[in-house]
């Protein structure tokens, strides 16, 4: 396993890895482990594997998993590095699909993971990290604000 980094939370050590196709079922289980995710993570295993291969083929994408000492996946996030002309041609990182397993929520692992994400982004030349959170995820929004994120824009989406 290719370890990208280490995290410590509540006297427990974790490791950050780039996800592999073998991790897809565990990632989807994390994504579906809340009321919102349970209603939208309904594709077939093959569809998720195909999606994984599209993500993996894009060098700007970093699908990450957090493993505990036993090797079990307890967290995930997807980072997208986006080069821009605005702000003098800066690179920003979009953080999406952040999930932690219920047994590690509240342990400090989320904070440690975001500190790692911020350093990883800096090391790749990014100057800005941004994320979106569904309006219904009020606890997640409080968490992001505690990390220093500000609700600075109004987002819009349209299904096609």
152: in domain: no
Q: Using DSSP, state whether 154 is helix, strand or coil.
A: coil
**Residues 89, 150: Cα–Cα separation, whole Å:** 22
Q: Is residue 120 part of a domain?
A: yes
Does residue 156 belong to any structural domain of this protein?
Answer: no
Domain of 48? 3-146
In angstroms, rounded to a whole number, what is the distance separating the alpha carbons of residues 91 and 104?
31
Query: What's 89's domain CATH number?
Result: 3.40.630.30
Per-residue pLDDT of the chain (160 residues; tens, 9 = 90+): 689 999 999 999 999 999 999 999 999 999 999 888 888 899 999 999 999 999 999 999 999 999 999 999 999 999 999 999 998 999 999 999 999 999 999 999 999 999 999 999 999 999 999 999 999 899 999 999 999 999 999 888 899 9
- Domains in the chain: how many in total? 1
Is there a domain that residue 90 lies in? yes
Answer yes or no: is 39 within a domain. yes
Cβ neighbours of 13 (radius 10 Å): 11
Residue 157 lies in a domain: no
């Amino acid at each position: 396993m290719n370890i990208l980094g280490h995290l410590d939370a509540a006297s427990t050590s974790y490791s950050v890895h780039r996800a592999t196709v073998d991790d897809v079922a565990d990632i989807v289980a994390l994504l579906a482990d809340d009321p919102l995710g349970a209603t939208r993570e309904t594709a077939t295993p093959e569809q998720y594997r195909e999606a994984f291969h599209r993500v993996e083929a894009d060098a700007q994408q970093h699908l990450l998993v957090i493993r505990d000492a036993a090797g079990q996946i307890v967290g995930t996030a997807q980072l997208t590095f986006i080069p821009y002309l605005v702000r003098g041609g800066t690179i920003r990182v979009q953080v999406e699909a952040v999930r932690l397993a219920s047994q590690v929520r509240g342990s400090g692992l989320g904070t440690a993971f975001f500190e790692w994400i911020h350093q990883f982004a800096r090391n790749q030349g990014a100057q800005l990290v941004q994320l979106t959170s569904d309006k219904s995820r009020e606890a997640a929004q409080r968490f992001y604000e505690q990390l220093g994120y500000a609700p600075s824009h109004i987002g819009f989406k349209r299904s096609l």
